[in-house]
Amino acid sequence: MASSFAAAFGLKDEGLLQTKGYIAGRWRDALDGATISVSNPATGEEIGTVPEMGVKETQEAITAAQDSFKAWKRTTAKVNRRVSLSFERVLTAPNLSIQMISQKFWEAPSANSVPKTHELNLIQTLENGKTLNDAKAEITYSSSFIEWFAEEAVRTYGETIPAPVPGIRNVTVMQPVGVCAILTPWNFPSAMITRKLGPALAAGCTVVVKPPPETPFSALALVELARRAGFPDGVINVVTTMKNVGEVGKELCENTIVRKVTFTGSTAVAKLLYSMSASTMKKISFEAGGNSPFIVFDDADIDAAVEGAALCKYRASGQTCVCANRIYVHSSVYAEFASRLAAKVATFKVGSGLDKETTHGPLIHDRAIKKVEEHVADAVGKGAQVLIGGSRLEGPGSFFAPTILSDVPPNVRLSNEETFGPVAALIKFETEEEVLKLANDTQYGLAGYFYSRDIGRVWRVAEALEVGMVGANTGMISSAVIPFGGVKESGLGREGAHGIQEYMQTKLIAFGGV
């Protein structure tokens, strides 16, 4: 099945298109044979199926992770680093490049319409919809987490701590936390997994991954590459599920073998998993939703602010947790900023991610379109004007026109809820004090951005924004090396940078009688 499926999509390396879950080193169907249909958001057509697994398969995966933990936790940091670096190499290896075609991927490649790309990019574009360029950027981003944490594996140092009394020596050692449950969203099908998998494996943990039902193939391809890189059977397990997600999630949070739950996704699901994880006092890290403010002050470099807003707002068609959701512009530069942003947005080309002309792909599904429509209708009903776009694009697939709403009043739904779509809401302000109050008036606290050339203001505003990450004169903050995460209801813990600590426990060993 996997092989004919891969051939249908023009994948030379057929092993990368896996259509089963992965438990204890074996590709597995659901016990009852049930499947989940996965479709291409650009066409609405099914691209394949994966198993609809349940509690029993989840328990098997947890047991496999527990069994393999016994040996994996004792692997030396040096060997661990080597295996992780092999994983990074197979993720970026040039021999994985393929000839693929734009638009009609089922036809034979033709010489002049064939960009060279990586098979993982193609899988991601097919199931998520993002453009091949964005998919390529994501695979690079994805592998950067594996590389970063491979290097961290050899630096998980303990401490010696001077004792307050004679005869005692205090030493700490860092130990892997144990079996980790990894639950991730569809918007970055690969990078949101490796951001967790990298530190977990490097720390010596073993894992059960529960990928999103919308984009399971990227997750399964990652696992296949990890297997080839040399991770032993049972170290990485994958349970695919959709309808059974409630009971699978409960099992992952309540099973006593699992010692850590790490989740990226919406705040609503984060809260549910948080409460379920409390019963067994698990270590947790949650990267949840956002509603980022983006502020353009009167002293801003407007060219830079327009570029920053276009990138920050419309990256992945507005479907990132750190996308600007509310754009506050000082009244004195409002008209100029709005018209220049509109000119920039008018150059966007919306379409299939496989088309090399496309700059912005579809939204993930119709539910996503519906939410964006509701936010636009709510803002327009309260007095906002549609400067550009404003509606769904007719035809197959779930496309929404890149949109700018001007004169948006502060009391609209998108001020408090994550839109997760290509809608820039422009809100006028007069003073720094007023805009900070508006920017912080939300339960979210993931990222915040602003443009100003006044060094005093830059410090003041950066310190005053109630968020985990600030972009001061930049609309792009993400990389493997930053402490990624939010405050308030946007999350708990940090990924990237010092993120390996999230997968380790500090143990004190006090030596007496010295």
Task: Compare residues 100 and 135 and give the one whose CB is closer to ligand O=CCCC(=O)O.
Answer: 135
Cα radius of gyration (the chain): 24
Using CB distances below 5 to 8 A depending on partner kind, what does residue 20 bind out of ligand NAD, ligand O=CCCC(=O)O, none?
none
> H-type helices in 233-365, by residue range?
245-254, 267-278, 302-314, 334-345
Our finding on whether 418 is near ligand NAD (CB under 6 A) is yes
Give the H/E segment covering residue 35: strand 35-39
- Region from 129-137, 158-166, 180-188, 333-341 binding ligand NAD, contact rule CB under 6 A: 180-188
Q: Which of 131, 320, 403, 452 binds ligand O=CCCC(=O)O (CB under 6 A)?
A: 320
Catalytic residue chosen out of the listed positions 138, 152, 214, 287: 287
- Region from 68-76, 126-134, 149-157, 206-214 binding ligand NAD, contact rule CB under 6 A: 206-214
Let me know if 287 is a catalytic residue: yes
Tally: H helices and E strands in the chain: 15, 22
Cα 405 to Cα 327, 386, 389, 487, distances in angstroms = 10, 5, 9, 28
Our finding on whether 184 is near ligand NAD (CB under 6 A) is yes
Asked whether the CA dihedral 433, 435, 440, 441 is positive or negative, the reply is positive
Task: Compare residues 141 and 334 and give the one whose CB is closer to ligand NAD.
Answer: 141
Task: Compare residues 21 and 265 and give the one whose CB is closer to ligand NAD.
Answer: 265
Q: At what angle do helices 191-203 and 216-229 cross, to 10 degrees?
A: 30
Neighbours of 433 (CB within 10 A): 9
Contact indicator for 170, 160 with CB cutoff of 8 Å: yes
Residue nearest to ligand NAD (CB): 249
To which residue do tokens 């972009």 refer? 471
Of 440, 414, 442, 443, the closest CA to residue 426 belongs to: 414
Task: Compare residues 63 and 291 and give the one whose CB is closer to ligand O=CCCC(=O)O.
Answer: 291
Give the H/E segment covering residue 403: strand 403-406
- Region from 147-155, 171-179, 320-328, 412-420 binding ligand O=CCCC(=O)O, contact rule CB under 6 A: 320-328
Our finding on whether 351 is near ligand NAD (CB under 6 A) is no
Q: Pattern 338-377, binding to ligand O=CCCC(=O)O, x per CB under 6 A? A: ----------------------------------------
Q: Which residues are near ligand NAD by CB under 6 A?
A: 183-188, 192, 210, 212-213, 245-246, 249, 264-266, 269, 272-273, 287-290, 321, 418, 420, 446, 486, 491
Active site residues: 287
